[in-house]
């Protein structure tokens, strides 16, 4: 027996050695069986007890981890999850559809009948042609209809013809008219008490 092996047998195993032994055993490796640590473990009761506690700790960790996950995913949640998955798979196979704008009750259909399309296209084309033709006609007639005089002159003449000169007498006449004939009978009594324009102007 080599010195190293003898030393290995004498010294107690630590957690690193346990980890190595456990992971080798877990991986199904036969190499772990022949190591000095494995031999020591077989012969040392204290190390065996500690190794048992170590494996218990790992087993507890596994149980705890699985329990934590199962607590989050009870059977009801798994059932809901399955139905979600199946719904998503079903939706994958359905073709995409255009969703109608909420204002309209019926969904927007992208497949109109042929005649409808032609009618709509003809109407749009007719409108465009009509507008274009109208513009062209306007362009042709335009020069003949233009006035011969210059623009400022025309504006001045038009203004002179339409607007009458304002006379100050017309305001007084309007007020006299208003004074002479109160049109609302209900106000006639009140009107009688009110001084008239002519009464006010007499002292002048």
Partner 1 sequence: MTGAHAAGVAPREADSASASAVKAMQAEGRHPEARERYADLVARHQRRASRIAFHYLRDGAEADEAVQDAFVKAYTHLSSFREELPFEVWFTRILINGCLDRIKARTRRERWLVSAPEPAPGQSDFTDRVAGGGPSPEDQVLARERRQKLASALSRLPDRQRSVFMLSHYEGCTSREVSALTGLNESTVRVHLFRAIRRLRTLLTDDGSARQATITGGKRRVLT
Where on the chain is the footprint of partner 1 (CB under 8 A)? 15-16, 19-20, 22-24, 26-29, 50, 53-54, 56-58, 60-62, 64-73, 77-78, 81-82, 84-86, 88-90, 92-93
- Closest approach of partner 1 to the CB of residue 40, in Å: 18
How far is residue 100 CA from its own chain's centroid? 16
Q: For partner 1, give the closer residue by CB, 71 or 185.
A: 71
- Closest approach of partner 1 to the CB of residue 45, in Å: 17
Q: Is 21 exposed, middle or buried (0-12, 13-18, 19+ CB in 10 A)?
A: buried
- Closest approach of partner 1 to the CB of residue 52, in Å: 11
| DSSP secondary structure code for residue 74 in this structure | -
Q: For partner 1, give the closer residue by CB, 15 or 199.
A: 15
Q: For partner 1, give the closer residue by CB, 89 or 168.
A: 89
Q: For partner 1, give the closer residue by CB, 11 or 55.
A: 55
Question: Cβ distance 176 to 197 under 8 Å?
Answer: yes
- Closest approach of partner 1 to the CB of residue 69, in Å: 4
Rounded Cα distance, 75 and 123, in Å? 62
How far is residue 55 CA from its own chain's centroid? 55
- Closest approach of partner 1 to the CB of residue 17, in Å: 10
Rounded Cα distance, 65 and 63, in Å? 6
Rounded Cα distance, 15 and 50, in Å? 9
Q: For partner 1, give the closer residue by CB, 20 or 39.
A: 20
């Amino acid at each position: 027996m080599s010195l190293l092996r003898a030393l290995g047998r004498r010294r107690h195993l630590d957690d690193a050695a346990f980890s190595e032994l456990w992971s080798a055993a877990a991986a199904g490796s036969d190499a772990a069986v022949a190591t000095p640590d494995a031999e020591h473990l077989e012969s040392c009761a204290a190390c065996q007890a500690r190794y048992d506690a170590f494996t218990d700790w790992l087993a507890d960790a596994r149980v705890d981890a699985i329990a934590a996950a199962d607590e989050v995913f009870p059977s009801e949640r798994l059932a809901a999850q399955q139905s979600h998955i199946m719904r998503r798979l079903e939706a994958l196979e359905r073709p995409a559809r255009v969703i109608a704008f909420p204002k309209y009750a019926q969904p927007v259909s992208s497949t109109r009948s042929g005649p409808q399309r032609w009618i709509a296209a003809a109407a749009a084309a007719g409108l465009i042609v009509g507008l274009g033709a109208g513009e062209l006609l306007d362009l042709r007639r335009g020069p003949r209809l233009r006035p011969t005089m210059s623009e400022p002159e025309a504006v001045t003449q038009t203004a002179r013809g339409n607007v009458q000169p304002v006379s100050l007498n017309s305001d007084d006449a309007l007020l006299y008219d208003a004074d002479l004939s109160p049109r609302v009978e209900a106000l006639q009594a009140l009107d009688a008490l009110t001084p008239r324009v002519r009464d006010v102007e007499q002292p002048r």
